[in-house]
Structure 1
Amino acid sequence: MDTMRDRFAPVMTRLLDEDPRVAVVLAEIGVDAFKEAMRAHPDRVINVGIREQLLVGAGAGLALAGLRPVVHTFASFLVERPFEQIKLDFGHQGVGGVLVSAAASFDWPEGGFTHMAPGDVGVLDTLDGWAVHVPGHPDEAETLLRHAVGTGAGAVPSDDKAYVRLSVQSNAAPMPVDGKRFLTVREGRGGVVVAVGPMLDHVLAATEGLDVTVLYATTVRPFDADALRRAVGAGTSADVVLVEPYLAGTSTAAANDALVDVPHRVLGLGVGRAELRRYGRQDDHLRAHGLDPATLRTRITGFLGAGARA
């Protein structure tokens, strides 16, 4: 199976052909995949070199000129390093664009901590108006990318601010995502587990045989409060577990806000704050952060208690 990032350049090349508003801004990373698009659209596929602040600034400048910019590099270089430009060039100037990241939390362990960004969604949470999409499969990545760009067949035109978080971690099969709502994958009465993006397969394995509702979230901002309230209201327990592929607890405030008038408990599971200083492999990092199915099951049942056991 191809990866989410494998889909990125072909999808964007088609969107560049379809819509003269669309532009792509790169900072060396990913340039090879856009060689044909650069020849076809030299004024709308721009490589700024290894200058991440300029990467974001150039994208905002294209938005000011009336284009729909899609800005791409590794998450650590896209969200963390040029954060001031995201805050000012897009936010303060009141323009929209699409940030598309790669590498995610620990997709490339050999790159070390400089190439990891488990805090990216949390950082964007400090800003107003950013939609955040976390696909769990390449097919979902294509759907959510088109939704975020807001152009192409069937898309609703958009000038909003959006972040699309691509990962090489993937679920085995795609779900029918729409860029808005959480999906109900499994129903139960002993609590609610929200699986974000590529965490779904791990959560389904971890909760096999448990009497819990599993919600699948690929668009986490705006947070689908209605779906969570419905899921909690359908059960006997207002206990919620969030399993996110980035910093643990990133969405606990959103879940608490959704249930502000309902007695409830929330447990946020995800990537820990402590830096893992050995490269290892992705599976090693998943286990170290307690995101493998066996550890998730222990943590989920420990929190939900006897009511979760069928």
Structure 2
Amino acid sequence: MDTMRERFTAVTSRLLDEDPRLAVVLAEIGRDGFTRAQGRHPDRVVNVGIREQLLVGVGGGLALTGLRPIMHTFASFLVERPFEQLKLDLGHQGVGGVLVSAAGSYDWPAGGFTHMSPGDVALLDSLDGWTVHVPGHPDEAEALLRHAVAAGDDKVYLRLSEQTNQEPRAVDGARFLTLREGRGGVVVAVGPMLENVLGAVAGLDVTVLYASTVRPFDAATLRTAAAVAEAADVVVVEPYHEGTSTRQVNDALADVPHRVLGLGVGRRELRRYGQLDEHLTGQGLDPRTLRERITGFLAP
């Protein structure tokens, strides 16, 4: 199976042939995958070099001309480093584009903390009007990419990961999917967290919602699921900073007595590089530890 990032490169290269409005802006990272596409469309595939602020600035400029720019690099260089440009060159100017990231929270541990971005979604939450997709499978990444490209002039963030679920789900870029129902609480699994969550809740009487689009937050589906449960207790398992979506849960259930637990990547930096699965375990996001944390919270 190809990776999300490989699927992104292949699909975007085809879309460049089909859609004259589409453009791609790179900052060295990922350039080899777009060599042929750049040869066919030298005016719409731009590599600005290792200049991430310029990456977003050029994307904003292309959007002002009427193009639909896709800006791609590692999440730490796409959201954290050029955050001011996201705020001004896109948001303040009233134009949109598609950010497509790689490396996520710790997908490439050998790159060190400079290449990790567990705070990216929380940062975007401080800005207005962003749609955030977090696919859990390459097929979902393709579906959500196509959705983002076709989304008019909206501001969209597509967060790719090396971690994937075993099978894709029928995502639509809006709603949470109800994978199973139970009366003991609600567990919301975001993107690539689903596989570990399903392992963690095996045999438990809980509802499992799958979220591949987290902004806007699907409050309606969560409210429906919470109404089925004996108590409106909600656990959100996210592949970035823990608690990133607890405010959205609280807002969705503001008129309902409820409790919420946010599980995800902690603020403490894990300084040993290790491997992806070791980082998951270190953050308490492996199935065994998730089960302990979820049952400890939902237990009467």
**Is structure 2 residue 79 aligned with structure 1 residue 85?**
no
* Candidates 184, 192, 199, aligned match of 1:190: 184
Aligned to 2:110: 110
**How far is 1:127 from its partner?**
0.1
SS in 2 for 1:132: strand
Aligned to 1:52: 52
**How far is 1:9 from its partner?**
1.1
Which whole-Å CA distance do the structure 1 matches of 2:42 and 2:137 have between them? 31
SS in 1 for 2:197: helix
Question: Percentage identity across aligned positions?
Answer: 75
Which whole-Å CA distance do the structure 1 matches of 2:223 and 2:271 have between them? 39
Query: When the two structures are superposed, what TM-score results if normalisation uses the length of structure 1?
Result: 0.96
Aligned to 1:153: none
Offset from partner CA, 1:249-286 (integer Å, 9 cap, x none) = 00000000000000000000000000011001111110
**Is structure 2 residue 293 aligned with structure 1 residue 299?**
yes
Aligned to 1:169: 163
Aligned to 1:235: 229
Aligned to 2:205: 211
Offset from partner CA, 1:193-226 (integer Å, 9 cap, x none) = 0000000010000000000000000000000000
Which whole-Å CA distance do the structure 2 matches of 1:179 and 1:114 have between them? 30
**How far is 1:186 from its partner?**
1.0
Which whole-Å CA distance do the structure 2 matches of 1:104 and 1:118 have between them? 7
Which whole-Å CA distance do the structure 1 matches of 2:277 and 2:124 have between them? 27
* Candidates 243, 251, 255, aligned match of 1:257: 251
* Candidates 260, 274, 279, aligned match of 2:273: 279
Offset from partner CA, 1:129-152 (integer Å, 9 cap, x none) = 0000000000000000000111xx
Offset from partner CA, 1:279-298 (integer Å, 9 cap, x none) = 01111110110000000000
Aligned to 1:159: 153
Aligned to 1:129: 129
Which whole-Å CA distance do the structure 2 matches of 1:51 and 1:205 have between them? 41
**How far is 1:35 from its partner?**
0.6
CA RMSD of aligned residues (A): 0.5
**How far is 1:2 from its partner?**
1.1
Which whole-Å CA distance do the structure 1 matches of 2:34 and 2:6 have between them? 11
Aligned to 1:71: 71
SS in 1 for 2:166: coil
SS in 1 for 2:239: strand
**How far is 1:235 from its partner?**
1.5
Offset from partner CA, 1:44-83 (integer Å, 9 cap, x none) = 0000000000000000000000000000000000000000
Which whole-Å CA distance do the structure 2 matches of 1:16 and 1:259 have between them? 42
Q: How many residues align?
A: 300
**How far is 1:4 from its partner?**
0.2
SS in 2 for 1:266: strand
Which whole-Å CA distance do the structure 2 matches of 1:52 and 1:2 have between them? 27
SS in 1 for 2:55: helix
Residue type matched to 1:304 in 2?
L
Offset from partner CA, 1:143-179 (integer Å, 9 cap, x none) = 00000111xxxxxx51100000000100000000000
Which whole-Å CA distance do the structure 2 matches of 1:195 and 1:258 have between them? 17
Gaps of 5+ in 2: none
Which whole-Å CA distance do the structure 2 matches of 1:289 and 1:131 have between them? 26
Which whole-Å CA distance do the structure 2 matches of 1:166 and 1:137 have between them? 9
SS in 1 for 2:299: helix
Residue type matched to 1:293 in 2?
P
**Is structure 2 residue 199 aligned with structure 1 residue 199?**
no
Which whole-Å CA distance do the structure 2 matches of 1:184 and 1:23 have between them? 35
SS in 1 for 2:132: strand
Aligned to 1:40: 40
Aligned to 2:15: 15
Aligned to 1:154: none
- Runs (4 or more) in structure 1 with deviation over 3 Å come to none
Which whole-Å CA distance do the structure 2 matches of 1:299 and 1:245 have between them? 16
SS in 2 for 1:277: coil
Query: When the two structures are superposed, what TM-score results if normalisation uses the length of structure 2?
Result: 0.99
**How far is 1:5 from its partner?**
0.2
